[in-house]
Amino acid sequence: MRIARIIEYFPQHVGGMERHGLILSQEQVKLGHEVNVFIGYGGDNQRSDLENSLMSDLMPLQFLPLYSKMRRIWFNFWAYIKVKKIHQKNPFDIIHLHGDFIEGFFGGRLSKKLGIPAVITIHAGLNKRLLKPKNAAYFKNIAKIICVSNEIAGDLEKIRVSKEKITVISSGVYLKEFNEADRNIISNLRDKYLKPILISVGVLRISKGYAYLIEAYKKLKQEYISLSLILIGDGPEKNNLDRESKNLGDIYFLGHQDHGKIVEYLKAADVFISSSIDLPQDREGTPTSIMEAMAAGLPVVATRVGGGPYLIGDGINGFLVNPKNPDELAKAIIKIINNPDLISKMRAQNLEDIKQKDWPIIAKKIDETYKSVL
């Protein structure tokens, strides 16, 4: 099967959708498919052997501002033209888009033009301002919509997208990466920080709620001198968060890290925190970072946002708290770090629950979705 993958952001650019697109492409190649990836932006770093092993085309006009509407529309227009041109010489069997309304519009038109089905994966919660029945038309030419959370699927049903078009398949994790992580490196990392070690991974933007996590950490530091917080990721809120944590000790902004290093930090930590908040225009999907924390055997404290409640059972493999509530975040973290037996229980539960999220299993589910529309 020849697959045209249209995805605006791709590694080395860091994010859950980016890694999803990369690993899914790799797994599809293993299944015997041919994947051509059409990319809007792939970061400034040199690409890995894995990324270079995939056929890919990169959008021109890279000077357009990242995350801007202008860039997004230009990318989708460029991908429409590029895929159509290649299809004329070497036809694709299916188009797989990653995005939401804009990608559904352009991808649906491309599907109709080429006479092949289009599937779209929606990775993040939909903009509440666009949740109107008339906007279901954006997906009218899409054969199947893969939602990474039940919340996204519910939003689509509310605006009268046909239930038959919708399926829920989360992202995945490579369990092998976690099982094979170097124990000596992990031990050395633990020795560098005061324990217990709290950790969070994600783009530093407002919707990730890091301002509330830092406020919770301030409260914790009043009771626990031996405590550290590691934040992995870059983003537009970096300077603001730096200012807010200026007088706090033992908080570390590590910026962009290779994925192998992220695995090592997760394995070295004690508790994972997902402090996301729900903004109308920037809503959480099912966070890959939570799944990776589960694969590392970490208890998780997560806000009741997006797919967090889909992954975390309150008091079972972590705790759920209300968003924008530093007090609840701090209290949940204290419950965990004060209870070694609870840590062991949550660790075992997460290692068991995550088995069904291994990437080979997820890739086969998506393969079955393709076959259902061909």
74 residue type, one letter: W
> Position 80: which residue type?
Y
DSSP assigned state of 209: -
Separation CA 43–CA 9 (nearest Å): 8
Residue 313, C-beta contacts closer than 8 angstroms, at least 6 positions apart: 349
Q: Which residues contact 46 (CB under 8 A, 6 or more apart)?
A: 12
Measured CA to CA, the distance from residue 108 to residue 97 in angstroms comes to 10
- 5 three-state secondary structure: strand
List average pLDDT for each run of 10 residues in the chain, which is 374 residues long: 93 74 94 94 57 72 78 94 96 97 97 98 90 96 96 95 96 94 96 97 94 97 93 93 91 93 97 92 84 98 92 97 97 97 98 96 98 97
Positive or negative CA dihedral for 110, 112, 116, 121?
positive
Domain 175-356 has CATH 2.60.120.560: no
At residue 59, the pLDDT reads 84
For residue range 21-68, list pLDDT tens digits in order: 999 999 999 999 999 999 988 766 544 444 555 778 888 877 677 778
Listed by start position, the domains of the chain span 2-172+358-373, 175-356
Reported as a single tens digit per residue, the pLDDT across 223-270 is: 998 999 999 999 899 999 999 998 888 999 999 898 899 999 999 999
Average pLDDT value for the chain? 92
Alpha carbons 90 and 170: distance in angstroms, whole number: 31
Cβ 212 vs Cβ 277: under 8 Å:
yes
Q: What are phi and psi of 276, to 5 degrees?
A: -55, 150
Can 2-172+358-373 and 175-356 be said to share one CATH topology? yes
Separation of alpha carbons 333 and 312, rounded Å: 14
Q: In this predicted structure, what is the pLDDT of residue 360?
A: 96
For helices 288-295 and 16-30, angle between their N-to-C axes, nearest 10 degrees: 70
- The C-alpha atoms of residue 365 and residue 264 are separated, in whole angstroms, by 28
Question: Tokens standing for 248?
Answer: 């706090």
Q: Which residue has the tokens 């699927």?
A: 153
Specify whether the CB–CB gap between 213 and 329 falls below 8 A: yes
Which sign does the torsion angle of CA 125, 127, 133, 134 carry?
negative
Is CATH 3.40.50.10190 the right assignment for the domain spanning 2-172+358-373? no
Beta-bridge partners for 38: 6, 57
